[in-house]
Amino acid sequence: MTASATIDDAATDGRTANGVPDSPADILASDRSGIPVDPHEPGYDAAIGTIIRTAKRLCAELNTGYHEPEETHAIFERIVGHPVDQSFRLNPPFHTDFGHNITLGRNVFINWGCTLMDRGGIAIGDDSFLGPNVQLITINHMKDPTRRAVTVSRPITIGARVWIGAGATILQNVTVGDGAIVGAGAVVTHDVPAGAIVAGNPARVIGHV
């Protein structure tokens, strides 16, 4: 996984006394809320693993051959598991590791080759554009090499009327404010103020709209 920094410690709320979730719903809630999740723990495969496999299959279907816009929209709705506004536009190929934690506003455009790893939740506001090969990565790994397979997911929030340039990467726990511009190839590790223009690795403010 791509990450800005690895995770040392995180809360274990929502678990039983021995740290194991009570049910598949609990492990999904833990994953979404930033609690460490081990792929070997009980319930992982039935909950998270099942959704991951479905996302892989549907992305393969979406990315194979040509689809008319209406068909592309229908497959995307199956990937995310809920209705998406008809104003949404997507140029496949598109990749996600989960899909069900993606929420989109109106008039969102996602260009060729974008990857949204959304287990921590990705929200994209109205009228925002993602350029080609943008990556939004909400998942991270533990610093301890003996627990490296354990993941911690935290959200990404993209405001309204945001433009994310080609090849930019936005990492977990980042909010990009309304109207901001993220330059091509930027690596965003911290919040971006509304109306700011950021570029570089790590991204920094270089101007304002």
Out of 67, 95, 100, 141, which one is annotated catalytic? 141
Number of other CB atoms surrounding residue 98 within 10 Å? 26
Strands 114-117 and 151-153: unpaired
Specify the pTM.
0.89
Q: pLDDT, tens digit, for every residue of 89-102?
A: 999 999 999 999 99
Residue matched to tokens 């309304």: 178
- The amino acid present at 38, given as its one-letter code, is D
User: Is 40 an active-site residue?
Assistant: no
Distances (CA, A) of 2 to 61, 198, 206: 25, 20, 24
Q: pLDDT, tens digit, for every residue of 69-88?
A: 999 999 999 999 999 999 99
Which comes out higher in pLDDT, residue 20 or 135? 135
Q: What is the pLDDT, as a whole number, of residue 25?
A: 73
Q: pLDDT, tens digit, for every residue of 152-175?
A: 999 999 999 999 999 999 999 999
48 φψ region: left (φ > 0), alpha (ψ -120 to 50), beta (else):
alpha
Residue matched to tokens 């690596």: 187
**Cβ–Cβ under 8 Å, residues 119 and 27:** no
In degrees and rounded to multiples of 5, residue 188 shows phi and psi of: -100, 115
Domains of the chain: 24-208 (2.160.10.10)
Nearest residue to 122 via CA among 165, 159, 88:
159
Q: How far apart are CA 14 and CA 173, in angstroms?
A: 20
